[in-house]
Amino acid sequence: MANIVVIGAGLAGMPAVYELRHALPSRHSVTLICDQPKFTFIPGLIQVALGLKPLDQLQEDLAPLAQRQKLNWVGEKVISLDPIHRQITVASRQIVPYDYLVIATGASLAFDLVPGLGPERGFTHSVCKPNHAVEACQAWSEFLAHPGPLVIGAAPGAGCFGPAYEFALLADHELRRHGIRDQVPMTLITPEPYVGHLGVSGLSHSQSLTTSLLEHHNIAIVDNAAITSVAPHQIILADGRTYAFSYAMILPAFRGAAFLRTVPGLTNEQGFIPVLPSQRHPRFPEIYAAGVVTHVEQPEKNLVPIGIPKTGQMAESMAIAAAHNICVDLGVLRDCLKVPTLDALCFAEFGPTGIAYIAAPVLPDPKTGKRNRSYALQGAWVVWVKAMFEKYFMAKIRWGIGMPWYEKLGLWIFFGLRLQRDLTEAEQVLSPSSPYQASEVSSKT
C-alpha cells in the first residue's frame, strides 16, 4: 500500500488527485492537503474584481468533494516538508507521511519586491487570489462613483500578462457602459518588450492584434517598463517616469511557497521546483511538481526581467503526467512514462471580443527557435469558448473528473494541441540543454 499526497487544490492539484484516485486501487490512499476551504477557478477572478460575476460561481467546497471522491482531506496549512523522512507537518503539528508527493501549491505573490505594491500593504489591487478580487471589486464600485486615472499592468519578473490585458479591456467596456469612459485616462504598463509578447515571443499576429485593440480603445501603452515603487495614487518607473492613478491593478512577480524555500536542495532561489521531463524532482525521486510552482527557464533575456507563462492548461497537463507516472512507478499502469508537451492555450476575454493566444509548445525548439504552432486569433467566439470552458471545468471539479479523453481529443481537433507524449530514452537522463536544469536546485540551508 502506498500513500500519495498532493499539496494544493488548484488547477493542477485537483486534476492530479482525481487522476490518482481513479487509476489507483483502493489499497492505495490519496491525501489532499490545502489550507483553503474552497477550490477557486482563478482565471475567472477578473470578472469578480469588476463586479461582473459573484465569487461563489467560481468556487466549490473541498471537504465534501474529497469525501465523495474517497480522498483523505487535510484542510490545514503546510508548515514544513522533510523529503528525507518523507513527511509533511501541518499547522496543527499533525505529521502526514507520504510515499509519493505531488507539489501543486501554485505560487506565492511577491508584492514585497516593489515597495507599495499589492492590496495588503500597498496601494494597488490584484486579481490573483479570491480575497484580493473581492477587495478589488469593492474599490471598483467606489471608483465608478469617483472616476479618475486608471493604471493596469505588471511588475518586473511577472510571467502572467493575459489578465492585465483582460482587466484593461473589460474595464474599458464597463466604463463605456456606465457612460464615464471620457473621465478615465487609461494606461497599461508592462515589462514585456512589446504588448502581446506574453512572456512568449514570436506569436504570429499577437503584437498587432493586441496593440490594435488597446489603441482602438484609447489605452496608452508603456512597454519595457520596470515599476520600482508605488506611492499613494502614483506609480514610479525605473527611468523616473510617474503615472498618477485613482485605481490601479498591477500583477506581481511570483515565487515558490515559503515552506518550500526552507527545504535544502528542493527549489531554486525563487522557490520554484526544478523537475525532470517526467515532472519528477531530480534529487528527490518521490517528489513530483506541477503547475506554477515548477521551474521553467525563460529562454529570452529581455531589457526588463519577465517570467514565462504557465497557463491553466499547462498546469493540468503537468498534473496528469505526474499522476500517470506515479501510477506507472507503482506498477498499476503498464505504459510509458509521459511528458507534458507544454503546449499553451490562453483565452483572453475583452468584452464583446477576445483573443486566443496559442504557443505549442511554450518553449521553442532550442536549435531552430521555432514552435509547432504559434499564433493569435481574434473574435467573439473566444468569449463564448472561454465562458463554456469555465462551466465545463467547474463541472469537472464537481464530478471528480481529471482530464478525460474527449477533452484531449477536442484540443487536438480544434487547436492542434497535444498535452502529453511518451518519454524518450534520451530524456531519461537529464540533458544540459533541457529547460529543467538540475543546477537550478539551490543548496541553501
> Which residues form the catalytic set?
160, 346
Q: CA–CA separation, 443 vs 364, rounded Å?
A: 29
Q: CA–CA separation, 84 vs 82, rounded Å?
A: 6
Cα 87 to the center of its chain, rounded Å = 26
User: Quick one: CA torsion of 111, 116, 121, 125, rounded to 10 degrees?
Assistant: -70
Determine how many CB atoms are found less than 10 A away from the CB of residue 426. Answer: 9
Any bridge partners for residue 40, and if so which?
59
- Name the strand (E) or helix (H) holding 324: helix 312-329
Q: CA–CA separation, 33 vs 71, rounded Å?
A: 10
Cα 83 to the center of its chain, rounded Å = 25
Q: CA–CA separation, 50 vs 136, rounded Å?
A: 8
- Name the strand (E) or helix (H) holding 61: strand 59-61
Instruction: Note whether 151 and 235 are within 8 A (CB).
Output: yes
Query: Given CA atoms 357, 362, 366, 372 in this order, what sign does their dihedral have?
Result: negative
| DSSP notation for 2-51 | -EEEEE--STTHHHHHHHHHHHS-TTSEEEEE-SSSEEE-GGGHHHHHTT
The separation between the first and the last C-alpha atoms of the chain, rounded to the nearest angstrom, is 33
Q: What is the pairing mode between strands 353-360 and 373-378?
A: antiparallel
Any bridge partners for residue 348, and if so which?
355
- Strand, helix or coil for residue 78: strand
Verify cis geometry, omega within 30 degrees of 0, for the bond prior to 149. Answer: no
Helix, strand and coil content of the chain, in percent to the nearest 5, comes to: 30, 25, 45
| DSSP notation for 202-234 | T-BTHHHHHHHHHHHTTEEEE-S--EEEEETTE
Output the nine-digit C-alpha cell for 418: 497535444
Rg (CA), the chain: 21
